[in-house]
Amino acid sequence: MIRPLCLALTLALGAIASAHATDAPLSTVAERSGFLKTGRYDEVIALCAAFQKTYPDAVRCIDFGRTPEGRPMKALIVSRSGALTAKQASDRGLPVLLIQGGIHAGEIDGKDAGFLALREALESKAAKGALEKQVLIFVPVFNIDGHERFGKWNRPNQRGPEEMGWRTTAQNYNLNRDYVKADAPEMQAMLRLVNQWDPLAYIDLHVTDGAKFQHDVAIQVEPVNSGDPEFRRDGLALRSAVIADLSAQGSRPVAFYPSFNVGDDPSSGFTDGVATPRFSTGYFQLRNRMAMLVETHSWKDYPTRVRITHNTIVSLLNQVATHGASWLKDAHAADARAMTLGGKNVALDYVASDKVRDIDFLGYEYTRTLSDISGALMTRYDESKPQVWHVGLRDDIHPGTQVIAPEAGYIVPAAHAAWVGEKLRLHGISFRAITGPLHKADVETYRANKTDISGQSVEGHQRVNAQGSWKPEQREIGAGALFVPIAQAKARLVMTLLEPQSGDSLVAWGEFNNAFEQKEYMEDYVAEDVAREQLAADPALAAEFKQKLASDPGFAKSPAARLQFFARRHSSWDERYNLYPVLRTATAPR
C-alpha cells in the first residue's frame, strides 16, 4: 500500500502546482514546471515582497544581511497572532519556529517546499490555525551566492531539479560547518537573526548524499542525546511526532543519518551520533533550543523530495502550535538550570558505544565487484528489486570528553579582548570588561604539553589539538580583560568556545595558534654553554639528564630535545610558550 500512496501524494502535489500555475505572484518556477525546475534568487526576492503585499497583516518581508557578493538575505516573518516583531513575540510568550532552506544551495528542496507550505498555511489549507499560535521565520535560501552559481551537474549524486546551486558560498565556506566559528558574513547575519528572535526550534533542510535505498527522509533532532537532560524529552517528542506524521503520509523516515560505517558497503551498518557544534543540530542544544536536520534522500526525484519536505514543514507547524507553549516553558527552565553548571561535569562531545542492535533497513538488491577503473570494490544497486537489509545500528550514545566547568567563569586577557568579545557577541553570550588590573589573581591556566597542528587547511583554518590540563596558578591580569561568567543560559556554548579540549573551540579552530609557536630561541652553541653551566652547578639536574638519556631513546637521539632540556630551565625561556591565553577563575573579579 505504501508505494501507491506515495504516488498518489506526488500526483496531488502536481495538482496543487496546476491549480496555482496562473497565480504567478505566489507560485514558484518549481510549481509551474511540475517540480522539474527551481527558480533563481530573484524569484525569492519577488515572492518575499508578494507574500507581504498579499497578506499585510500576517507577513513581513525583511532583509537580515547581505552576502559577500552584495545580495540581500531575505526572510519572511509570518504569524496570524498579530506578533510580527521579536519584541511582540517575546511579550506574548509565542514560540518562534525558524525554517531555513538552501544552506547547501544545491539541496534546494526547502525553498520550493517552504513557499508552497507557507501559502497553504496562510490560505488555511494546511496547518489550519497553526499560525495563530506561533511566529514562523522562513529563510528560503541561506547560501544565496552559492544558489546563484547555477548549473546542471552541481549535484551529480542527486535526481533533480534540472539545475541547482552550489554547496559552498562565494568565499568557499561550507555554512553547515560554521555555526560556532562564524567566519562567513552569512553565518554572522544568521546568528544576529537568531539572537534577535530566539527561536524555540531551528529547522535545517537538506538532501542526503550516499547510497541508494528505499527510505526517503532522515529526521534528526537535538536535544535527544545531548544537551540539557530534562529538555531532551521535548526533543524526542518533536522527532517522534514528525516521524509519525510522515509515516502516516506514506514516507519511510529514519531517525539517524543513513551513512554506512564503511565506505559504500551496506553490510557494515550504521552509527548514530550527535553532530559537533559546527553543525546546526550540534549547535542549538548548547543554547537550550531545538534543532532538526531534515535530509530527504538524494535519489528520490525532485517532486517526491519537495512533497516530503512540504509535509515535514506542515507537521512542524502543527506540532509547534500544539506543544510550542509547553516546550518554550521547558526551554526557559533549561536556561535556568544551565546557569548552575559552575563546578559541575559538562560533556563537550558525545560518542556511540560499541553496543550494536540489529535493524531491518529497506534497501535494494546490490552487488559488490572489483572495478577495473578504480581497482576498488564498487557497489551497484538494482532499484527494481527491493530488499530488506539486516544490519547493525550503533545508537547507544554517551558523553565523550567531559570537563568540570569553572566555578565562576573565564578571563580573556586584554590582548585578545576585542576579537574574542566580537565572537561572544555573535553568539549572544554575556560578558563584561574588567576595568582595573588584578595582581596575583588566583586562576587556572592551561598549558599544552603536546600540540598537533594540522597540515591540511579546514575551512580556511589550521586546526590544532592542544593536549594539556588546567592547573592552579597566580597571574597578573591587566585592565581591559573580559570576564565571561559561567552562570548564564548559554553556559554550554561558553564552554564549547573557550575549553581547549572542545573540538569546536577557538583553540581547536586555530584561533590561538600563535600561543603554540616558539618565537624566541637560544642558538645551539649558546645552549651548549648553558647546559654545561647547569650540569656543573646542579648535580640533581645532571642525574636527571643522565636518567632521561638512558630511558628515552627518542630524547637521546634528538640534539634539539637534548638542548631544549636545558633551555627550558634558563631564565630566557618564554614562560608563555604553549600557554593558552584564556584563564579560568573560581571567583568573579570585582
> Tens digit of pLDDT for each residue in 127-161?
999 999 999 999 999 999 999 999 999 999 999 99
Sign of the C-alpha dihedral computed for residues 195, 200, 205 and 210 taken in this order: positive
pLDDT of residue 22: 44
Q: Hey, how many other C-beta atoms are within 10 angstroms of the C-beta on 517?
A: 10
Cα 257 to Cα 574: distance, rounded to the nearest angstrom: 47
Start-to-end CA span in the chain (Å): 69
The gap from C-alpha 294 to its chain's centroid, in whole angstroms, comes to: 13
Q: Return the closest-CA partner of residue 559 out of 527, 536, 530, 534.
A: 527
Q: Return the closest-CA partner of residue 46 out of 29, 32, 67.
A: 29
φ/ψ region of 95 (left if φ > 0, alpha if ψ in -120 to 50, else beta) reads: beta
The overall average pLDDT reported for the chain is 95
pLDDT of residue 210: 85
Q: For residue range 77-131, list pLDDT tens digits in order.
A: 999 999 999 999 999 999 999 999 999 999 999 999 999 999 999 999 999 999 9
Residue 66 sits at φ, ψ, to 5 deg, of: -130, 145
| 6 band by pLDDT with thresholds 50, 70 and 90 | very low
Q: Hey, how many other C-beta atoms are within 10 angstroms of the C-beta on 559?
A: 9
Q: Return the closest-CA partner of residue 335 out of 406, 401, 430, 408.
A: 430
User: Does the pLDDT at position 17 exceed 80?
Assistant: no
Residue 65 sits at φ, ψ, to 5 deg, of: 170, 180
Sheet hosting strand 482-485, strand order edge to edge: 432-433, 482-485, 409-412, 583-585, 438-453, 464-477
pLDDT of residue 573: 84
Total-model pTM: 0.94
Cα 515 to Cα 580: distance, rounded to the nearest angstrom: 6
Query: Considering all CA atoms of the chain, what is the largest pairwise distance in Å, rounded to the nearest integer?
Result: 95
pLDDT of residue 13: 56
CB 496 within 8 A of CB 347: no
Which position has the grid cell 496543487? 16
pLDDT of residue 590: 86
| Beta carbons within 8 Å of 90's beta carbon, 6+ residues apart | 198
Cα 406 to Cα 477: distance, rounded to the nearest angstrom: 18
Q: What average pLDDT does range 539-559 have in this prediction?
A: 96
Q: What average pLDDT does range 541-561 have in this prediction?
A: 96
Give a three-class secondary structure readout of 165-183: CCCCCCCCCCHHHCCCCCC
